Amino acid sequence: MEPSSSQALAVAASDADLDPLDYAWVFVGDSAGWTLSGATTATPTLTSPAVGGLAQVTLEVTVSDGTDSVSDTLSVALHAEASCLDYVPAARNRGSGLYWIDPGAAGGPFQVYCDMDLAGGGWTLISNRRAGSNNTESCGSNLAGFFNGGCGTVTSIGAGDSYALTSARRAALPRTQMLVTQLLGGALDADDAYVIDLGSSFDLFPNSNASLNIAVTRVCNLAGTACDSSDVFWKYIGDYWFHSAQCFSGSSSDATYRGNYGVCHDDAYNAGSAGTYPVSSFTGDRSAYDESKLWGIDTPSRNYQERVWFR
């Protein structure tokens, strides 16, 4: 079971004479950090310790009809899946929320927010950009600093919160897709959301002030009903900015704005030509700076809370 979590246990028992049954659960051996409630019921609740606590515990359950009794043991160990996707479909009843994951190359388990509903679920939140702040964040002096140094806590990811995994934890996540969502007043702006099939493990948020065009395989709307795989790329600059939030545009070292990103595609706007067009315009009804949260700019995009997810 996950660290710092609770799990209902159960034992199935019956009596040939239909006598009432009594239950007694006890720990066998060391149980430091583990707790058990409802120990005299058929369905007690076991609560595990935090990361770093005792890794495994053994319990014994005894069932008695007042005359005869029988006992059995079970062992429970701390365990975290590699990503949110690995909890699907077991998480269907639990839904979206906080989970512990252990990608194996990030120095041990850590807690993340998982979305188990959008586009099939299994999305691990890598960042939450706050609304109402001219698109700056509470950590870092530019976009590269925000995405690479880590920011905030996963327990605070509301409209006014800045949050990002560190670059090491982000790099450790298994991933083949990225989802970008925006919320306005806490409500998902579904027509502006898009899913990118990555096709490579290249870091999409490097610590760089160069304007990068990173090839990806495909971009689709949230429902998967419209996709484009023709010359699709992720445009990113971690410091400074690329002109007018446009695909096929040059970059500027002007310190007014400190980072921008978005997806570019070859179909909807430029039909195969090299003309500029707004990033992240594959879906949605906004354009240019209103569609993209360029660091430090005062446009309607600042009203949107933006989240980036890996799966």
140-159 pLDDT per residue, tens: 999 999 999 999 999 999 99
In this structure, which amino acid lies at residue 189? D
168-203 pLDDT per residue, tens: 999 999 999 999 999 999 999 999 999 999 988 789
For the sheet containing 35-37, what is the strand order?
6-8, 45-47, 35-37
Q: How confident is the model at residue 137 (pLDDT cuts 50, 70, 90)?
A: very high
Q: Which residues contact 270 (CB under 8 A, 6 or more apart)?
A: 247, 248, 276, 277
Q: How confident is the model at residue 288 (pLDDT cuts 50, 70, 90)?
A: low
pLDDT of residue 283: 82
What token pair was written down for 126?
């890598």
- pLDDT above 60: residue 268: no
197-246 pLDDT per residue, tens: 998 878 999 999 999 999 999 999 999 999 999 889 999 999 999 998 99
CB 290 within 8 Å of CB 300 = yes
- pLDDT above 90: residue 284: no
pLDDT of residue 106: 75
pLDDT of residue 214: 93
Residue ranges of domains in the chain = 6-77, 84-310
Alpha-helical (H) ranges within the chain are 143-149, 167-172, 288-291
- Give me the sign of the Cα torsion angle 242, 248, 249, 250: positive
pLDDT of residue 293: 94
pLDDT of residue 162: 99
> What is the β-pairing status of strands 233-237 and 212-215?
antiparallel
Distances, alpha carbon 222 to alpha carbons 36, 157, 165, in Å: 42, 21, 23
- Give me the sign of the Cα torsion angle 237, 251, 217, 189: positive
Distances, alpha carbon 260 to alpha carbons 143, 162, 210, 232, 257, in Å: 7, 16, 11, 17, 8
CATH topology of domain 6-77: Immunoglobulin-like (2.60.40)
- The phi, psi pair for 76, rounded to 5°, reads -125, 135
Any idea how long the chain is?
Answer: 311
